[in-house]
Structure 1
């Protein structure tokens, strides 16, 4: 059941499940994205944690207040306020894409709050030669700019998120399309997400980066800056996988993240690559 919490200048929607040490799940910026659409299928594997699955401002059940702040900065402060209101003093943060940028921002501005950090192809760190944009970001920005986006545009976007296009089911496309029509973000294109690059060295939390080798939205070639910028970071790369790692490779993702959150170090499973800084 979706609940809301007062964050001072509005309300943030979230879903809570499980019991144990808190884990906060932060979704991406794609059209139709919500916390549960990104992570709902992963939650059963984390039932021994108190899971807080957030809808970031302007997505899902969370309205977008007027702001001139970069989106990552604005969202990070609202998530911090929400966690304070919910009595969370320390938590693991798991962020996908844009949500990864939000998680990094919280780790910089409120390091006492963050235990461990999991980032799946996080946003907020761009190479110096961008644009041109990867094809996934091109489709994302085109959808945002469309006054009346079509279901076919959504289908094209969803297929770019997965290596195995059979996972881009009609039901998934319909769900994301209908959600995007209900809460289509009114943003400049491209949006001002903010730049986390200068702050990477200030992230003290142990950090796991998880990337799909064939990601066409936030390419693996962009990972190096984050991997070498965060002092305690390691990288796992999953082959035959694009941007939605937690969806396309859910069993491997759940295993990797659980081991990391529990402080364990295991040998890479077949098909994985590992690098550490």
Structure 2
């Protein structure tokens, strides 16, 4: 185990009022900011990869509800929030999986349930493949890496990957991505949330080194293969009880990925949420919290 340094604890509050205690942990020589709330079995909430994303912001409607039953651990994934602004672009999902596994090691957590949205769902799957003993149950919401956008990217994925390209980041680009692609009902997203994410997205270190980008260069094809779990035979061996929750109107990762996972993974249930986009845990928070808590407790 790598020796850890835990920074001073601070209160971290989400835009919807959910509160957790945050601190910085050294994992493999790099800082990961992590927030915690509640007690009980450990549940790690892994956020998506959109511009300005952070753990507490992405799960602002879920932390308090889950913390009534679980020890909720909410990291800012590498490249985001208060964590170190670097990831291994040759194997992004592998690097994220190693980082989450290393964080659990540093926190003394032998095994944890994983909840992952999009980019975070891909990190959860990769950790389950690489270090299955670290993972209990999984809840995955519209996870990346399941091959449905490989040949024909969605409009939402193009908007996400194009945020730092061209004229660079702007409030209008982020507003369009969130309201047109991230959720089903764009009018439900408050301007305060967009502003919060915009300010996080223009951190100079992030602008200089965006964490989520299209693979390029001579090793791009190898990277794309590593990021596609449908090409990895180990996916069939991921036997962890898994609940996949997918918005029927997801415009970032196509909902067809849900049945593919359910048919491939031996213990995978699927829930398709009507009138819901890519951000199920935010748009349908009450439904999601009920489903996730029951599944993680092993009662469904």
After the TM superposition, which residues 100-179 of structure 1 pair with which residues of structure 2 at under 5 Å, given as runs? 100-127=121-148, 130-146=150-166, 148-159=168-179, 160-179=181-200
User: How far apart are residue 168 of structure 1 and its match?
Assistant: 1.9
More deviation in 13-22 or 195-204?
195-204
Residue 271 (structure 2) pairs with residue 236 (structure 1): yes
* TM-score normalised according to structure 1 size: 0.90
Show the counterpart of 1:62.
83
1:41 to 61, 80, 86: 61
User: How far apart are residue 188 of structure 1 and its match?
Assistant: 7.4
- Unaligned 5+ residue runs, structure 2? 1-10, 12-21, 216-222
User: Secondary structure, in 3 states, of the residue corresponding to 2:163?
Assistant: helix
User: Secondary structure, in 3 states, of the residue corresponding to 1:122?
Assistant: coil
* Alignment CA distance shift 1:65-1:139 (3 Å): closer
CA contact (8 A) 1:9 1:65 kept: no
CA contact (8 A) 1:211 1:236 kept: yes
Residue 260 (structure 2) pairs with residue 220 (structure 1): no
CA distance in 2, matches of 1:138, 1:72: 19
User: Secondary structure, in 3 states, of the residue corresponding to 1:145?
Assistant: coil
1:90 to 102, 108, 111: 111
CA RMSD of aligned residues (A): 1.6
User: How far apart are residue 146 of structure 1 and its match?
Assistant: 4.1
CA distance in 1, matches of 2:54, 2:212: 20
User: Secondary structure, in 3 states, of the residue corresponding to 1:219?
Assistant: coil
1:196 to 216, 222, 229: 229
CA distance in 2, matches of 1:188, 1:78: 16
Question: CA offsets, 1:34-72, max 9 Å, x none?
Answer: 101111220111122111101111011111336353111
User: How far apart are residue 90 of structure 1 and its match?
Assistant: 1.2
CA contact (8 A) 1:155 1:173 kept: yes
User: Secondary structure, in 3 states, of the residue corresponding to 1:14?
Assistant: strand
* Alignment CA distance shift 1:180-1:217 (3 Å): same
CA distance in 1, matches of 2:49, 2:164: 10
* Alignment CA distance shift 1:116-1:54 (3 Å): same
* Alignment CA distance shift 1:66-1:256 (3 Å): closer
CA contact (8 A) 1:26 1:35 kept: yes
CA distance in 1, matches of 2:228, 2:143: 12
CA distance in 2, matches of 1:165, 1:186: 25
CA distance in 1, matches of 2:71, 2:50: 26
Show the counterpart of 1:210.
245
Show the counterpart of 1:272.
none
CA contact (8 A) 2:86 2:211 kept: no
User: How far apart are residue 256 of structure 1 and its match?
Assistant: 0.5
Residue 43 (structure 2) pairs with residue 23 (structure 1): yes
